[in-house]
Amino acid sequence: MRVTADRLLGIVLLGLAALVAVQALQWQIPFSYEPVGPRAFPLGLASLLSILALVLVFRPGANGHWPHRALAVKLLMVLVLLVVYATLFTRLGYIPASLLAATILARLFGTTWGKALITGVLMAIGSYFLFTSGLGISLPDGYLAGIV
C-alpha cells in the first residue's frame, strides 16, 4: 500500500478513536439513576470515527498539494514567531511584543524590512489605543507600565 496523506490521516484518526475510548473507559463514574452516563456518547463517536477512518485507509482520495521544503520552513518560522509573540505578550507588554511580531510577520509575508518596520510601529501603537481607549479592553503594559 502506498503511503498517502489520507492513509496517514486515517491511521492518526484510528489512534485518536482508541485514545478517546480508552480514556472514557478509565473514568470513575459516580452512581447515578440516569440510564446513560458520560461514557456512552464518546464511545459511540469513537466507534463511528474508527469505521470512517478505516474507509479512509482502504480507499484514500487524491493526495492534495503539500508544501515543499522552503515553504515548510517558512510555515514553521511563522508558527515559532506566533509562539514567541504569545510568551512575550504579557512579559514585554502589548506594544513592544506586537511591534516585534507585526514587523517580522510583514517581513515573512514578503515586504522589505523598512516597510515592515513602519507597518509594525503603526499597527502596534494604533491598535493599542484603539483597543484600550476605543473598546475598553485592558492589555498588558509589561515594562512600559508607567511610561505610556
Torsion of CA 37, 40, 45, 48, to 10 degrees: -170
Contacts of 9 (CB under 8 A, 6+ apart): 53, 56
In the complex, the smallest distance separating the C-beta of residue 53 from other proteins, rounded to whole angstroms, is 7
Binding site for other proteins (CB under 8 A): 5-6, 9, 13, 16, 20, 23-24, 27-30, 32-38, 41-42, 45, 48-49, 52-53, 55-56, 61, 64, 66-67, 71, 74-75, 78-79, 82-83, 85-87, 89-90, 94, 98, 101-103, 105-111, 115-116, 119-120, 123-124, 127, 131, 135-140
How far is Cα 62 from Cα 123, in angstroms, rounded to an integer? 41
In the complex, the smallest distance separating the C-beta of residue 147 from other proteins, rounded to whole angstroms, is 20
In the complex, the smallest distance separating the C-beta of residue 146 from other proteins, rounded to whole angstroms, is 19
Cell readout for 3 is 503511503
Angle between helices 40-58 and 5-26 (to 10 degrees): 160
